[in-house]
Amino acid sequence: MNGAITESTFNFFFKLNYDKTFASILTTPMSPADISLGELAWALIRGALYSIGFLAVMVVFGLARSPLILLTLPGALLIGFAFAAVGMAATSFMRSWQDFDLIQLVILPMFLFSGTFFPLDSLPPAAQIVVQVTPLYHGVDLLRTLAVGFIGPSTIVHVAYLAIMGLAGLAIVSRRLDRLLLR
């Protein structure tokens, strides 16, 4: 998530507004949709490299309890896809560097309270419901269940949630880039 968000927000904003990389790319036969997919692919590559590092550490330290741990890599890529697409969509609406405070305002609490560091049942019941609708909770629970070797109905819900989130973000950023770059 962090690698994908960083690549799809800060770096994307700079390329879009200051470096004018995308305007240069449009002088070739590529379209704004191609730019969206290319930037998304790069964010996924960056996220995959981070994920492979974490997966290797888990294997080296004997934390891999199930062969299903190999499915955590595609799961991490799905999380990266969802966050990168939404991050690029949000960035396409930003006008200045100060707007990145809003990204951190959303990401930091989600990171702290998604069930990564302490169990969800340690939160009050109302907070548990709020956490369970956040995308990072779905990502954390997906990876945790894959890492321990349990695939159940909740796995399908997590995958569907993250896939829909990513596809919606990709659709928004493709339309926004059409407006921003072809005006």
pLDDT digits (tens, 9 = 90+) for 27-69: 899 988 898 899 899 999 988 999 999 999 999 998 888 888 9
Query: Model pTM greater than 0.85?
Result: yes
HEC per residue, the chain: CHHHHHHHHHHHHHHHHCCCHHHHHCCCCCCHHHHHHHHHHHHHHHHHHHHHHHHHHHHHCCCCCCHHHHHHHHHHHHHHHHHHHHHHHHHCCCCCHHHHHHHHHHHHHHHHCCCCCCCHHHCCHHHHHHHHCCHHHHHHHHHHHHHHCCCCHHHHHHHHHHHHHHHHHHHHHHHHHHHHHCC
Domain range annotation of the chain: 2-181
pLDDT in tens, 69-127: 999 999 999 999 999 999 999 999 999 988 989 998 999 999 998 888 888 899 999 99
